[in-house]
Homo-oligomer: A and B are copies of this chain.
Amino acid sequence: MSTVSRAVDPESDPRVKAVFDDIRATRQTDFINNMWRYLAFDPDLLEQTWRDVKRIMATPSALDPLTKEMLYIAVSVANGCGYCVHSHTAAARAKGMSPEQHAELMSIVGLAARTNHLATALQVPVDPVFDQG
Contact = CB atoms under 8 A, between A and B. Distances in A.
A12 interface: no
Interface residues of A, number: 82
A111 interface: yes
A125 B3 contact: no
A123 B3 contact: yes
Please state the number of chain copies in the assembly. Answer: 6
Nearest to A88: B112
A106 B80 contact: no
Determine chain A's interface SS by DSSP, over half rule.
helix
Interface in A60-86: 61-63, 67-68, 70-86
A116 B79 contact: yes
Interface in A34-72: 34-35, 38-39, 41-42, 44-45, 48-49, 52-53, 56-57, 61-63, 67-68, 70-72
